Amino acid sequence: MGPLLWAKNLRLMNSTKEIFRVDSFSMMRGEAVALVGPNGAGKTSLLLALALLVPPTSGTIEFDGNVAAAGNILALRRRMAVVFQESTLLDMTVSSNLLTALRIRNVARGESLARMEKWLEVFGVAHLKGRQARSLSGGEAQRVSLARAFALEPDLLFLDEPFASLDYPTRNSLLDDLGQVIKKMGMTTLFVTHDYTEIPHLAERTAVMFEGRMIKSGSNREILGEDYLERRCRVPWED
Ligand SMILES: Nc1ncnc2c1ncn2[C@@H]1O[C@H](COP(=O)(O)OP(=O)(O)O)[C@@H](O)[C@H]1O
Ligand SMILES: [Mg+2]
């Protein structure tokens, strides 16, 4: 079987400059990959292109053997889920947030209820079911966002700096919980961060982005160095 996601000669320009240029990037099924680099490197732009949310200027994206094109893009997008740094929860209760997302993807009501219960439980927020999303703390909102993403049972999960707005204790407990869920589910995950200390919790492989280019890619050990398990990592774009 080929890669689940395969981007070839992918390039995005805005009116004045090149935002990114990536010759080849692929992810195998079940792989958890970190995309790391400083602010402005083009990580979010690349993630949005790979998630089929922003059309690239040129290049192709193949998902599960299908080249993304106008005719199949909605169907392919429905097999992916994205969690962003800022909450994208709708102004309704926590349970309605999950049920609405599942309804949009045509999941039957009974199945939706079961998935909602399961995933709120897994992320430790089942007690918040009846709360309005806007009343949640940052950490609670990200747990609900992750529960919503997993409830969709995507083939590919994108995480764009999901912890960047959280304080350290909140971030650390969520990092551990999320890392365990990703591993247990074998969820194919692209995890974007500028904080390389987060990488060992969530990913086995790391791609480094700098000024719109992917400058390195390899195992965490190769990219972050032998010390990475102790999280005393050097900054990989300062070599
Ligand atoms: N909508 C946009 N219009 C113009 N420039 C943008 C837009 N979004 C991002 N950029 C530019 O693209 C570059 C990459 O940004 P981004 O993908 O957000 O990087 P990162 O997520 O790594 O911080 C930056 O120079 C940024 O200024
Ligand atoms: Mg970003």
Any ligand 1 atom below 6 A from CB of 40: yes
Q: What is the pLDDT of residue 229?
A: 54
Q: What is the pLDDT of residue 162?
A: 94
Ligand nearest to the CA of 45: 1
Instruction: Find the 20 Cα to ligand 1 centroid distance in Å.
Output: 9
Instruction: Find the 156 Cα to ligand 1 centroid distance in Å.
Output: 23
Q: Of 214, 147, 190, which Cα lies nearest the Cα of 28?
A: 190
Q: What is the pLDDT of residue 225?
A: 83
Q: What is the pLDDT of residue 236?
A: 63
Residue 6 has pLDDT above 60, yes or no: yes
Best residue among 45, 191, 215 to mutate for probing ligand 1, ranked by most atoms within 8 Å of CB: 45
CB 80 within 8 A of CB 52: yes
Instruction: Find the 103 Cα to ligand 2 centroid distance in Å.
Output: 29
Q: Enumerate the domain spans of the chain.
A: 1-79+194-239
Measured CA to CA, the distance from residue 239 to residue 236 in angstroms comes to 6
Any ligand 1 atom below 6 A from CB of 19: yes
Residues 6+ apart with CB under 8 A from 21: 10, 11, 212, 213
Q: CATH 1.50.10.10: does it fit domain 1-79+194-239?
A: no
Mean pLDDT for the chain? 94
Structure pTM?
A: 0.93
Taking the CB of residue 190, how many other CB atoms lie within 10 A of it? Answer: 26
How do residues 101-138 score in pLDDT, each as one tens digit? 999 999 999 999 999 999 999 999 999 999 999 999 99
Any ligand 1 atom below 6 A from CB of 43: yes
Any ligand 1 atom below 6 A from CB of 15: no
Task: Determine which residue's CA is closest to atom 4 belonging to ligand 1.
Answer: 14
**Tokens of residue 22, six digits:** 């990536």
Any ligand 1 atom below 6 A from CB of 143: no
Q: Of 176, 158, 196, 183, which Cα lies nearest the Cα of 63?
A: 158
Provide the residues around ligand 2 (an ion) whose CB is within 5 A: 43-44
How do residues 80-93 score in pLDDT, each as one tens digit? 999 999 999 999 99
What does the pLDDT average to over 192-214? 94
Any ligand 1 atom below 6 A from CB of 42: yes
Task: Determine which residue's CA is closest to atom 17 belonging to ligand 1.
Answer: 42
